Amino acid sequence: GDTAVRRDRFSGGPAREFMSSLDADERIFTADLAVDRAHTVMLAEQGIVDSAVAGEILAALDDVETAGHGALPDGEDVHEAIETAVIDRIGPDGGRMHTARSRNDEVATCIRYRLREDLLDAVEATVAAREALVEVASEHAETVMPGYTHLQPAQPTTVAHYLLSYEGAVARDTERLLDAYDRVNRSPLGAAAFAGTPFEIDRDRTAELLGFDGTVRNSMDASAGRDFLVETTATLATHATTLSGIAEDLIIYANRGLVELSDDYSSTSSIMPQKKNPDPVELVRATAGTATGEVTGLLTTLKGLPRAYNLDLQEATPHAWTAVDSVSDATEVVAGAVATADWDEAALAAAAGEGFSTATGVADLLAMGGMPFRTAHEIVAAAAEAVDDGDSPDAAAAKVDEATRKVTGEPLSAYVSREDVESALDPAESVASRDSAGGPAPEAVDDELAA
């Protein structure tokens, strides 16, 4: 029954290294010290541990912190190693630190404590990315570009409208991260192994000392629940998927000569001297795969785990760390790539007129002139067969007139003026006309920018 003897009995054998999380726990070394301190202070305040002993424990913890994670003795994990290091310094009284708790509530508290910090960093990265998107958008409210659907020129829009489409998505990612933060920010400490403790502990006090916004009340839920990791990781994967869209667009637009990534966000080839590759954003595109893999790994690890604690939970944690690190890095790369990219206004304007991308605007105009939209669609579709990229507005309008006569038996002028049609065929005019709320017209975009 002696602790040292039992520890010796279970401290060897070929599975020890396999079981140890000590290396991975470096991430929660500082968190564990904070948790140890808060718990020790509470134990002293409650009269569970003598104040003088608590003082010795706190001094030993300071010393352990100064020595660093690398100086810890062997142990199954950081919690056990820090306790051993405290006992090494002050003797058996160091073991009083673990009164009324278990590594199960301890580790759950450490993960949440550290994850709060990482989540706030992730949030800050998303805010910086949004600032970059808004900043560049504000310079390009009039820069016409082709908008694509199915990768085909669909309707002209502007660079500002395009960039703000992602700002809106990243803003929701920020909200989701903050939402996840609220649920991460609860203290499981005091749940002990899962079944609470007979000691007169004060869970609200340790929660307060650690800056948590309350506790996870049910002690079994508190020690074994990891849905907060799933929520965080899934939110990061959602954000990474948003980022992968921006990355893919930049890759395609750069490839078409519509935008040039700065040298800082490009690489060259080790063999082909002429190459300028969008390598950093390709890695951003791949990060969505990494993050999705972490969500999948996490859910698969947690699926079907019985209550309460199982060591599988130790293997679940690193999925969240990998996700938060890789996604936050990717967010920063996107912010930098967007902030420094050079949009080629001439190339964008030329591309915006390609593929009769103003066709919808012409159909809208005919419908505004009293024609059923479906008829207008049919006429412009017929004209689209004839219109070439090189056509002047006059030549294109003549083809629309011809199609109108064929379909309705009446000339174009029965519905709209030739002048209005020519204007609708102009990409910049086409953009300016679409001033509905949230649309690409510069004044609508200005409203969005102001908001």
- What is the Cα–Cα distance from 359 to 353, expressed in whole angstroms? 10
| Residue 77 vs 426, nearer CB to ligand ARG | 77
219 binds ligand ARG (CB under 6 A): no
101 binds ligand ARG (CB under 6 A): no
Rounded to the nearest whole angstrom, what is the least distance from the CB of residue 309 to ligand ARG in the complex?
5
Helix (H) or strand (E) holding 156: strand 152-158
List the alpha helices (DSSP H) in 185-271.
203-209, 219-224, 227-255
Written as six digits, the tokens of 355 are 């593929």
Beta-bridge partner residues of 260: 342
Contact of 338 with 133, CB cutoff 8 Å: yes
# residues near ligand ARG by CB under 6 A: 10
Catalytic residue numbers read: 150, 269
Rounded to the nearest whole angstrom, what is the least distance from the CB of residue 102 to ligand ARG in the complex?
7
Rounded to the nearest whole angstrom, what is the least distance from the CB of residue 215 to ligand ARG in the complex?
19
81 binds ligand ARG (CB under 6 A): no
Rounded to the nearest whole angstrom, what is the least distance from the CB of residue 340 to ligand ARG in the complex?
41
Cα 57 to the chain's mean position, in Å? Answer: 40
Q: Which of 21, 109, 232, 358 binds ligand ARG (CB under 6 A)?
A: 21
| Residue 81 vs 403, nearer CB to ligand ARG | 81
- What is the Cα–Cα distance from 150 to 44, expressed in whole angstroms? 66
b/e string for 41-67 if b means 16 or more Cβ within 10 A? bbbbbeebbeeebbebbbebbeebbee
Amino acid letter for position 154: A
- What is the Cα–Cα distance from 376 to 198, expressed in whole angstroms? 79
Q: Which of 56, 77, 118, 448 binds ligand ARG (CB under 6 A)?
A: 77
Rounded to the nearest whole angstrom, what is the least distance from the CB of residue 228 to ligand ARG in the complex?
14
| Interface of this chain with ligand ARG, residues 275 to 334, rule: CB under 6 A | 309, 311, 313-314, 317
Contact segment (CB under 6 A) with ligand ARG among 100-108, 169-177, 269-277, 342-350 equals 100-108
- What is the Cα–Cα distance from 113 to 35, expressed in whole angstroms? 9
36 binds ligand ARG (CB under 6 A): no
Residues that bind ligand ARG (CB under 6 A): 21, 77, 103-104, 107, 309, 311, 313-314, 317
